[in-house]
Structure 1
Amino acid sequence: MNAEVTPDPEAPGRVVEALRQRWPQLPVAVIAQHVAQVFAAFTNATVRDFLPVLVEREVHRRLLASTRIPSARS
């Protein structure tokens, strides 16, 4: 994860962990790949304070759309 994408280099890991709690049946690598893709989409964002929240919501939405497995907590 590029430090320029997010001001907090630990944010992606925290997002992956939060999503892992919601999606324990999915491999962590799948979640991490989605998180990296969504953070990368915000590379040029000028306001980054809420990136972890936005990324978590977008990845959760993608996971819901791509799988029939219900999350542990919707």
Structure 2
Amino acid sequence: MLARLADKLGEEPGDERVVDAERVSELLGVTLRTARRMLNTLVDEGLAWPMPPARSSKVGRPPRPYQLLVDKLPR
């Protein structure tokens, strides 16, 4: 799962390894709920770190960013 996500991120400009559930949903073509579940699984397996949400003036719960630990992937 992390390898597939890292491949999708590698196709885009920049080397960004911080994503949120909405971004994962767009990249992998899954629902938002499935993307959240995938990110939680990656955290449980030690392949991603949850980061503090960015401050926002918008109403509602802010999106939670995750740092993907792609260096833990086998080569």
Name whichever structure is richer in helix by fraction. 1
Name whichever structure is richer in strand by fraction. 2
- Compute the TM-score of the two structures, normalised by the length of structure 2: 0.34
Higher RCO structure (Cα 8 Å, ≥6 apart):
1
